[in-house]
Structure formats: structure tokens, C-alpha cells
Amino acid sequence: MPSQIKDLPKAMVFTDLDGTLLDHHTYSFEAALPAIDKLHREHVPIVPTTSKTVSEVKQIMSRISLDGPFIFENGAGIAIPLGYLPRMPDGCEHDNDFLIKSFAPPRQQWQGVLLELSKTFKNEFVSFSDMTITRIAELTGLNEKDAELAADRKFGEPVKWLSTEARRNEFLSMLKDKGAEPLIGGRFLHVSSACNKGMAMQWLVREIAQQFHQTTLLSIALGDGNNDVDMLELADIAVRIPSPVNPRPQLKRSDNLLDPKGIGPIGWAEAIDSILPMLTKKVN
Ligand SMILES: [Mg+2]
């Protein structure tokens, strides 16, 4: 895939990673490779859109040979490789080889809030920034190298709750008073502000269409979980990938919605194979 776009693509694919492009259990994307090749040949960019960090996404993208933009930390930020777009969009900052568009306050803001709350909730929680990589690896089940990539966050701060549920509810309400929109995950409580994958997807589609003075850029979103709902509702074409662990996310829409049968990357390839002929017919 070229690291620069010279013409407006006809469509863009926004894809969740875990359980969608990557198999839930094995993290393999093998089954999706033929469909990825077809998208490359049609010059359709594939934009990973995930809860993962920049460091984690970069590692996965190099395995799949993707080098375009990506949406990370659940839509809190977009990373656009330098030189990918003809012009630098408004409101972006340089960060190494990327332009970063942020939709959320930086992690440091929540670290400050948590430091303040640690007086009221002494020894009742511990946040990522206070843990060693070894401890994060133990709690996440990742190896130390992957735990280091997962800990390299720009926006939200994961917190391990150590006290009772009643105290956790008090903690959550104090966080909300301070402007956070905390999310309760399986292992951690994620302290960040309201942001979602859909909002970030729309920003990128609009920016690219504007830079090429066009409005015909179609968005195709693929996801398997509840954190994909916003992008699945907002995309021109939505694909719900079956998961071996979650029910299909509930959506309000029923138009331009595909429900492939295959799990993970198998369903991903199935959906792309059925969408591609429509695209070449409609837009070319
Ligand atoms: Mg997923």
C-alpha cells in the first residue's frame, strides 16, 4: 500500500482489530489476506480503528504490511503518516513520523485527577502509571514486551480497582464530576473523556474528501463489539463480524448492513468480497 494518496480513493475501510481483522483467539489475519490484497489493488485504504495504543497498532500494521493512517485508543486519536495527505489538516500535532489529531485531553490530565482522588480513595485503586511493566503483564496476561506497548498510552488511564463496588461507584461519580467518562472493562476501569471510533472515522473521511474537493468517498466499517457501534452506525456500509465470545452488537440501522457468517477474519474477507464488486460498479 502506498504511504501517500495522490487521488481521492473511492472508499475507505475502517476496521476493528481484535476479533474482527484478527482472530479472537489466535490473532491471525491469514484468512483476510486475499481480501486485503484486493483492496490494495483497488487503492482502498484500510484504516485500523481500535482501542489499542499507537505502539501496539504500529506493530500489528507492520505484520499486515499496512502503512496508512489509523485510529487508536477508541477514537481518542488519529495517527496520519507524514506525507500521506497533500496538506496538513488543521488541529494536528507532529509526533515522530506522524501527524496526530486528538479528540480527547492528554493522559496527564487524568493522572492529575487520579492523584487528587488518591487522597479520598487511599490504597483503593492503582493506575497503570503507578505499576511496573511486570505488574501490568501479570494483570493483563500479556508478555512484558506487549505489556510495554499496551502501557504506552497517550490519552486514557487504566485503573485497577481494589476496593468494594459501593466505593467504586463513589469513585466513578467523582470522576464524572471532574469531566471523565469512565468505562468499566473486564480487568480495568478506563478513565478518559467521551470519544468514539465513529467520530474519528467521520473526521478522517471528511478531511480526505475535502483535500480532494470531492464528496463521494464511501466509508465501510467492520467491527465485532460494543465499542464499534458508533462507527457501524455512522459508516455508509456497516459489517458486523461474528464473534466467538460476544453477541452481535445491536444497531439501529438495517440499511447497507452486512452480517457475514464467518468468524473474525473469515467473515471480514467474505464481507469485503461482496462489497468490492458494488464499489467498482457504482463509483467507477
Ligand atoms: Mg473487537
Distance 115 CA to ligand 1 centre (A): 31
Task: Kindly write down the DSSP assignment for every residue of 209-263, as one continuous string.
Answer: HHHTT----EEEEEE-SGGGHHHHHHSSEEEE---SSSPPPP-S--TTEE--SS-
Distance 263 CA to ligand 1 centre (A): 12
Distance 90 CA to ligand 1 centre (A): 30
Question: What tens digit of pLDDT does each residue of 120-161 get?
Answer: 999 999 999 999 999 999 988 889 999 999 999 999 899 999
Q: What local confidence, expressed as pLDDT, does residue 282 receive?
A: 52
Distance 19 CA to ligand 1 centre (A): 5
Beta bridge partners of 77: 72, 102
Question: Residue 84 in contact with residue 5, Cβ under 8 Å?
Answer: yes
Q: What local confidence, expressed as pLDDT, does residue 281 receive?
A: 66
- CA pair distance 8, 18, nearest whole angstrom: 28
Domains and CATH numbers, the chain: 11-103+195-283 (3.40.50.1000), 107-191 (3.30.980.20)
- CA pair distance 67, 55, nearest whole angstrom: 13
- Name residues of the chain where pLDDT drops below 70: 1-3, 281-284
Place of cell 467498482: 280
Q: What local confidence, expressed as pLDDT, does residue 80 receive?
A: 97
Between the CA atoms of 30, 36, 37 and 39, what dihedral angle is there, to the nearest 10 degrees?
A: 170
